[in-house]
Structure 1
Amino acid sequence: MKIVVIGGTGLIGSKLVATLNEHGHEAVPASPNTGVNTLTGEGLAKVLEGAAVVVDVSNSPSFADEPVMEFFRTSTTNLLEYSAKAGVGHYVALSVVGTDRLADSGYFRAKIVQEKLIRDSGRAYSIVHATQFFEFVKAIADFSTVDGEVRLPTALIQPMVSDDVATAVARVAVGEPLNGIREIGGPEQFRLDELVCKGLAAKGDPRKVVTDEQAPYYGVRLSERTLLPGPDAQLGETTFDKWLAQQ
């Protein structure tokens, strides 16, 4: 089965392509690096020819409010249009657990628009909501650093490794369309401040993590369970300690 992976040269995309190919599928990475641009439509018709599934794991190069909204709205509109013309039967997109609870953030407002475009398209689709990745712990710390200190609340988070994300998305891609959302997460819950503190310490990063319940997470004030998946989420197996030991 030919499966086109939009964002197929990035962190999740490259792992997804490798996983699908290992299982006998023809996974084709599509990104600006391969001559495919979802914003302009360049290369889309050609790469989608003969595809049974398109999987969008791409991300905006800018998280600023206007550019990120423009990216997800334009990219998704083009992908839906071109994949429909190509007769692609299953449209899969990777999104984020808690997206609908994070609308104070311009990034998540853009993800909400992306998901709505997919749902309203009339196409057979699946949306995968993943929790944050282990690989993003430093980025969370960087975004939350004020005057050299990392300020974070004690909200719960259930992160997962990118390999488990790719495996879960691959499973959805080769299955029947959900016409709904599947949530995926890691095997353990942490307090957000404790997770980042542990991750920085393992990397030898000397920054102090300060617990601050008023500190925003990417511009959003969190309640305790904002970032957690629901009880029916499919959980990965890789623990944070195991991942840290492999780094």
Structure 2
Amino acid sequence: MSTGIDIATLGPLSWTLLAVAALIVGVSKTAVPGAGTLAVAMFAAVLPAKESTATLLLLLIVGDMFALWAYRRHAVWSALLRLVPAVLAGIVLGVLFLAFASDAWVRRGIGVLLLLVVAVTLWRRWRARHREADVPSGPVAAAVYGTLGGFTTMVANAAGPVMSMYFLAARFPVHAFLGTAAWFFAVVNVSKIPFAAGLGLFSVSGLWIDLLLLPAVLVGAFTGRFLASRMSQRVFERIVIVLTVVGALYLLW
């Protein structure tokens, strides 16, 4: 584990961005999946790219614990089990990619993929409405979304939008959506720790930053729990799609 950056060099603006990002992590875990991409962007703007990924990962795991506490009984296990092989393959690809690719190339590639995922999901839903056909969410969709989700979560903690599109395509109600996502990310994020450690992404300064930002994650998680119980299905879906597009455009930029 490296010592990382000097925390003393972070100014008020940097700490403000990190605190807002930590708040967003909490909200994204308990109310608005996909918003976590904004936190990824903020962390990468303040910290070195690879260190920001590992530092944010630990905060995401804290958020996962609160999401499980709130929605653990609402998961659709059949959907999760279909994703396992593809997600594992995606994580391995992400590890290999991190070892060789530049940050800029990776982020732009992910941005393009996210926009394609949104476009395909909206097209499928439009076709389902007009042709009265079910939106496919079986083995093929699980393989595509799962591999992309595993890859993007390992490379940039950016699987939120990808998996949001998968769960949205399956037409999960709000609580089933949040419960399934909670179990998915809790397991996946914990499984990423040894890979990130093996790549030398964790640092002492990153752990101190996580400790200082922990209260903001907790506030965000409770705020998200309050919002989720008062949010309609239509509003929820629109927020997920908009935030996915915003996150993808940021990664491209």
Same fold (TM over 0.5): no
| TM-score, normalised by the number of residues in structure 2 | 0.25
Q: Going by fraction, where is strand more abundant, 1 or 2?
A: 1
| TM-score, normalised by the number of residues in structure 1 | 0.25
Larger Rg: 1
More relative contact order in 1 or in 2 (CA 8 Å, sep 6+)? Answer: 2
